[in-house]
Chain A
Amino acid sequence: MSDKREKIEIVSPKESNILKFESMKDYIGKNVVSKSGEHIGSILDVLFIDKGVQGIIVSKGFFSRYYVDRAYFHTVSDKAMLSINPVILLVKKVVFDADGKRLGKVIRVKRKGKTNELEAIVVKKRFYSKAREISKADIDVMKKNIILNKMYE
């Protein structure tokens, strides 16, 4: 993004070349892509601590917002590439058991604290049906949708 930095007067005791610095403008609005290449939103805000970038707030649609720590960044260039597939995005994915039975959709994800480590998913078939919790150990495939490694009644 050109902001005509080369014409700007510099007031600094040591830096004379400000062209090498990154601008916040370069980050905001940039698309965020998960490890599997899925577009998962765009950067809404960049959070700093002690003068360093700590993480980004990703916006997906009108209401969905989440914070991704810099530990999960791979690169930020044309797009912000993450080194993970955020497990919170498993919500709304369809769950099949090992026998091909459709158990419903993921309504909630249980994680280890606030990390990206999955502990269990909560699945519900219909609005009025009872939700069931499925442990990570029972999950066989967790990509486009979820396939379990055992059968459920």
Chain B
Amino acid sequence: MNKMVAERKIITSDDILGKDAVDPDGQILGVITKLHIEKDSKKMVGITIDEGFMKPNLFVGLDYIKNFGVDSVFLSKIPTEKYIGLKVFDSKGKLIGHVKKVVSKRHKVTAIEISKDKRVSASDIQEIGINVILKEKYKIEEKTSK
């Protein structure tokens, strides 16, 4: 019986709904609440993740799903929205601000906005993990308002 389950190629919505969505860092983003199916092609196009209280639901397209696992669904890319609100420290631990916006290109972070007019380029970021740590000689680009 177990062998049959292991070899099963087709899964049902029951095998996906209610499971944890896990990003490539291993962080549990939330619980899968919806499956999205395109009416015309009758194909599945993505999932909705309920990120919990006070957080907006997150739609993830099928291209960003790595695999549908036994107890969880692995994503292949980290949703950049996840970084919003993280604390930004300089290399000495001084709090510079919080991430307000993430600028990305093809799901690769190119810059982060700390406030409306302050931006730090990805090349000045040492680490994005639980918080953001900047390199020793980072530069804050200030936008000039018209």
- A, B bound: yes
Interface string of A31-46 (1 = CB under 8 A from B): 1011111110000000
Given contacts A31-B93, A38-B129, contact A100 B24 (CB under 8 A): no
Interface centre among B25, B26, B69 (most CB of A within 10 A): B26
Establish whether residues A99 and B67, one from each chain, have CB atoms under 8 Å apart when the complex forms: yes
A100: contacting residue among B23, B67, B95, CB under 8 A: B67
Q: Are A37 and B127 in contact (CB under 8 A)?
A: yes
Chain A interface extent, by class: 20 to 34
Interface segment among A19-27, A48-56, A63-71, A144-152: the answer is A144-152
CB of A31 to closest CB in B, whole Å: 7
Closest A residue to B133 by beta carbon equals: A37
Give complex CA distance A142, B25 in Å.
7
A35–B22 contact, CB under 8 A?
Answer: no
B contact residues vs A (CB 8 Å cutoff): 19-20, 22-28, 67-74, 86-87, 89, 91-95, 127-133
Q: Can you sample 19 A-B contacts with CB below 8 Å?
A: A33-B89, A33-B93, A35-B127, A37-B130, A78-B89, A78-B92, A78-B94, A79-B89, A79-B93, A94-B28, A99-B67, A100-B68, A101-B69, A101-B71, A102-B20, A145-B22, A145-B26, A145-B27, A147-B22
